[in-house]
Amino acid sequence: MALNLGPWSPTNTHDYRLGNAKVSAISAPTKGSTQRGTAITITFTLQSYVVTACSVQIKYSTDGVTWNNATITGAVTGLTVSEAGTSHTKTWNSVTDLGSNNSWANVQIGITCDDASGGGGADDRLAKSDYFIVDNLPVAPSVLEPPDGEFQKDLLQNIEFSISSSDPGSDKLYPQIRADMTTSFNSSKLVTKNSQDGITHLRFDHQVTPPTLKPIPGYYVQGVSVAGSTVVTYNTKTDLFTGATLPTTITNARVIVIPRNDRRVFITAVGNTSVTLDKSLAGGVANGLVDLFILSDPTLDFFVKSGVSVTSTSFAATTFASLGNDDFGQDITDTFGSAPRILVVDQADRMVILGTITTTEVNLRKSLAGGTNNGICTLFILKTNADIYQDTDEAVTSTTLTARLYTSLNDGGALPAYVPGAIVLPVPKDDRHVYVDEIVGDQAKIAKGFAGAVANGLVDWNIWTKTDASAFWVPMSPNGIPETYEGGRARYRPQSGEFNEGIWYRQVAFGNVA
């Protein structure tokens, strides 16, 4: 006989599966949100009526089709599961997976869970988030000066702008400035890190304590041309790092000459208001070009002995005891605890070459050729070796300026990646002139002269930093602005003749691809 049925029960849908854990929700990132930088928060819920733990695999997609494993911070195994649902938060390193040089408009996160039960089911299905945006480009900087965003040529105003503190993942920032006489920026006059102008005139704010170095007080003057006997009056020059005019009088001034091209320059007189320079009779270019570091209080860090005559082309020992008092009446130490570091600055047209240094003496000789009979020099003997970095006996084999990162040098260990306000002096140790150029926070370029008594140059690298100041600007490196300077500011000084008459508008952006 037929079975008479009563009404059916209401429909009850249940997810039957061999595995019993699932991702029931992905609540972050939220739909349409913009996520910046490395640490993107992912929040999801794990739910089960049976098991209490599972593992997850987290993937990402930029097109909804291709899914790749995401780089995740935090455990992805042994995660708690509950009937009501347990929330978990992990961090996605989007820069590792996507890079730091672009933005993506349609990113999704996908998660699967595995409760170790085997078989198919919801634990093997990919739960997908809503679409969101990943923007790994630096934020736009703010123009700080001039405050109205306009630059008027006649006023020679700097443009100053903030350095982003939100650089997502890349360890370098690269600024680009564009200028136009209208806000359309159709002409797009650009100043970038790839232009000589960008390297020469772009500065960024000193924010970092020089590592292990005690800054040495003084003034740094850049790019002094020497065509013959040249008097450099201090108050006609400005400091590279502060932009301030040097004082009229610098009591007890002493000057270190840093060669910048293939003709040597030497000091013939130094005083409290000026220094007199001259070029050597021979060289690969017509005139000398040098930077000057003018010590404002040399007795803090150095014994300074000028007028040291060097008469032999063979190394001869000069004992520290024989030097007596220095230029300022300081009794030069007879015996140092360890071999001191010594800077040699020429005072005549015959190069003085530095040899072995011990705790009691320094060996010096004159070059084989020169415009005077004997060498005369000033010795700057550091009172403590901790004030300066030194890499000794560096062979310089190329006549082309070649960049050397400070991290490639060695002073009982690699030098730091950045030396704020770096001052670099190559002290000759053989008969070939060596010079430096483009001295910045992370590197300097170095080359040998075209002529010399030996094939290659040999020098000690000497690197130190000048005294910190409230307004302290360091040259832009072609390798970008490092993370340690983020949150600071940068300055660009337009050069005479760079712009036509009128008011120019400026915009600044940061990138993080060299």
Is the backbone of residue 413 left (phi > 0), alpha (psi -120 to 50) or beta?
A: left
User: Is 1 a domain residue?
Assistant: no
Integer angstrom CA distances of residue 478 from 7, 146, 214, 425, 490: 81, 25, 26, 20, 14
Return mean pLDDT, the chain: 88
Q: Are residues 270 and 413 in the same domain?
A: yes
Rounded-to-integer distance, Cα 222 and Cα 242, Å: 12
Considering only residues 513 and 128, tell me which one the structure prediction assigns the higher pLDDT: 128
Q: Residues 6 or more apart from 195 whose CB is under 8 A from it?
A: none
Q: In the prediction, which pLDDT does 153 show? A: 55
Same domain flag for 38 and 172: no
**Cα separation of 138 and 204, whole Å?**
17
| Predicted model pTM | 0.79
CA–CA–CA angle 179, 185, 188 (5° rounding): 60
Q: What is the pLDDT of residue 15?
A: 55
Domain end residue (candidates: 109, 135, 161): 135
Strands, sheet with 352-357, edge to edge from the N-terminal-most edge strand = 316-319, 361-366, 352-357
| Mean per-residue pLDDT, 16-33 | 82
**18 pLDDT band (50/70/90 cuts)?**
very low
pLDDT of residue 171: 73
Q: Residue 2 domain-assigned?
A: no
Please check whether residue 177 is in contact with residue 492, taking contact to mean a CB–CB distance below 8 angstroms: yes
Residues 152 and 124 in one domain: no
**pLDDT band with cut points at 50, 70 and 90 for residue 483:** confident
192 and 224 fall within a common domain = no
Domain boundary among 90, 108, 135: 135
Residue 334, in any domain of the structure: yes
Look at 203 and 241; give whichever has higher pLDDT.
241
Evaluate whether residue 10 is within a structural domain. no
Considering the domain architecture, whether residues 223 and 198 belong to the same structural domain is answered as no
- Please, are residues 268 and 377 in contact by the beta-carbon 8 Å criterion? no
Say whether both 195 and 67 belong to one domain.
no
Residue 102 lies in a domain: yes
The residue segments making up the domain with residue 367 are 218-465
Residue 168 vs residues 139, 176, 476: alpha-carbon distances, Å: 9, 18, 20
C-alpha to C-alpha distance for 298 and 327, rounded to whole angstroms: 10
Phi, psi of 295 (to 5 degrees): -70, 125
In angstroms, rounded to a whole number, what is the distance separating the alpha carbons of residues 424 and 422?
A: 6
Pair (191, 301) in one structural domain:
no
Q: Note the pLDDT of residue 386.
A: 87
The amino acid at 123 = D
308 & 415 share domain: yes
Q: Look at residue 430 and tell me if it is in a domain.
A: yes
Residue type, 4: N
Q: Is residue 233 part of a domain?
A: yes
Per residue in 313-326, pLDDT tens?
Answer: 999 999 999 999 99
Predicted confidence (pLDDT) at residue 194 exceeds the cutoff of 60:
no
| Better-scored residue on pLDDT, 57 or 139 | 57
502 vs 355: which has the higher pLDDT: 355
Contact (CB, 8 A) for 344 and 305? no
Strand boundaries in 227-374, DSSP class E? 230-233, 254-259, 265-270, 274-279, 288-295, 302-310, 316-319, 342-346, 352-357, 361-366
Residues 322-363 have pLDDT tens digits of 999 999 999 999 999 999 999 999 999 999 999 999 999 999
- Count structural domains, the chain: 3
DSSP 96-107: HHH-SS-EEEEE
- pLDDT for the residue numbered 214: 77
Give the C-alpha separation, 325 to 24, whole Å: 83
Q: Are 488 and 207 in contact (CB under 8 A)?
A: yes
Please provide the size of the chain in residues.
514
Residue 198 sits in the same domain as residue 247: no
pLDDT digits (tens, 9 = 90+) for 28-45: 999 999 998 778 999 999
Most confident of 51-55, 419-423, 458-462: 458-462
CA angle 216, 218, 219 (to 5 degrees): 135
Mean pLDDT lowest for which of 13-22, 87-96, 330-339? 13-22
Residue 44's alpha-carbon distances to 27, 28, 79, in angstroms, are 6, 7, 11
Strand 489-492 versus strand 103-114 pairing type:
unpaired
- Ranges of beta strands (E only) in 15-171 are 21-28, 34-36, 39-48, 53-61, 68-69, 72-73, 79-80, 86-93, 103-114, 127-128, 132-135, 143-145, 150-152, 159-162
From 83, 116, 135, give the residue that closes a domain: 135
Nearest CA among 38, 139, 169 for reference residue 94: 38
- Region 175-185 average pLDDT: 82
Instruction: Please say if the pLDDT value at position 158 is more than 80.
Output: no
176 shares its domain with 260 = no
CATH number of the CATH domain containing 82 = 2.60.40
CB-CB neighbours of 13 under 10 Å: 5
Residues 374, 227: one domain? yes
Tell me: do 80 and 49 sit in the same domain: yes
pLDDT, tens digit, 9 for 90 and up, residues 405-446: 999 999 988 888 888 889 999 999 999 999 999 898 889 999
Q: Is residue 270 one of the residues assigned to a domain?
A: yes
